[in-house]
Amino acid sequence: MNNRPRRNRKSSAIRDLVQETHLSVDNLILPLFLVDGANKKEVISSLPNIYRFSIELMVKEIETCLELGIRIFDLFPSVKDHLKDKTASYSYAEENFYLHAIRKIKERFPEVVLMSDVAMDPYSSDGHDGLVENGKILNDETLEILAKMSVAQAQAGIDIIGPSDMMDGRVGYIREELDLNGYMETSIMAYCAKYASAYYGPFREALNSEPKFGDKKSYQMNPANKREALIEADLDVAEGADMLMVKPATLYLDVIHLLKENHDVPITAYNVSGEYAMIHAASQKGWLDYESAMAEMLLSIKRAGADGILTYFAKDYAKLAASMQ
């Protein structure tokens, strides 16, 4: 027997030598949930160890994360119902606590990279990502609202705009408005392949952003489709996207790989709330080892081709990586 692949697995040193995929804390983006008020740290029942922070406690959380090597954060606002309306006007209002928080974070930590989420659902009284009229999601009428939101976020200090709405043409519209307002250096990480997934439940609890009627299948992608992701990716890159996002991650490794093989821009993936919650639930039952399952899940996303991973595991993985040095 001439070929024995096990020879390359016979010791830890050799396994490390021939390891094909390497995951670093530098590859991770941590989602953070922001709530208005003071000294608030609110539990999210379906997301263990993840909280909604008011701004002063979020600053402390970011400081802790920086010590662990996490430098990129995606901020999501939890908005009270009385501030929501059909046109999501609070999203770009001067008094928006989210915009004020961005400024405070950038003043305190100018070195961090802040990413935003651009969609109407956190601010919409209808709970949808686009403008609703007579039960229909209006595509083109939504674009102006998304652009106003993006410009307001860039003005506040956001480094990477993250359009997650899945409206047709929104990347080009947002890019043009950012450039016209002098924000040529603000990046766009386009959610080009965002699927109508069953794994978003804990996130929607965190933001209280469930749609008030129907579902999101008329704009989010069908989980059965893969080639369609290439169509979306091609359009977003042509419209000016700097990076592409696949969401969810673990159930769509084939899509991540497909985009990586077909595009030269960086590919990112959102390891979503349901993926995080199921690992926690199984480990709490004693069915899985939490740290091993977490590390394997993140490594699989990286192996598929993701350059960056937006994940609730970021802090725990950073602690694990530090303990192994």
Which listed residue (84, 148, 216, 247) is catalytic?
247
Cβ-proximal residues to 51 (8 Å cutoff; 6+ apart), any chain: 33, 41, 42, 43, 44
Which listed residue (148, 194, 216, 260) is catalytic?
194
Q: What angle do CA 133, 139, 141 make, to 5 degrees?
A: 70
The secondary structure element, H or E, covering residue 246 is strand 243-247
**Separation of alpha carbons 9 and 186, rounded Å:** 45
Closest residue by Cα to residue 190 from 165, 222, 218, 225: 165
The CA-to-CA distance between both ends of the chain, in Å, stands at 38
Closest residue by Cα to residue 113 from 41, 211, 28, 204: 28
The secondary structure element, H or E, covering residue 134 is none
Q: Is 109 exposed, middle or buried (0-12, 13-18, 19+ CB in 10 A)?
A: middle
Residue 315 main-chain phi, psi, to 5 deg: -65, -45
Neighbour tally for 27: CB within 10 Å = 19
Q: Please, which residues bridge with residue 190 across strands?
A: 244
Q: Please, which residues bridge with residue 191 across strands?
A: 245
302 is catalytic: no
106 is catalytic: no
Cβ-proximal residues to 26 (8 Å cutoff; 6+ apart), any chain: 69, 71
Give Cα 202 to chain centroid, integer Å.
Answer: 14
Residues that are catalytic: 194, 247
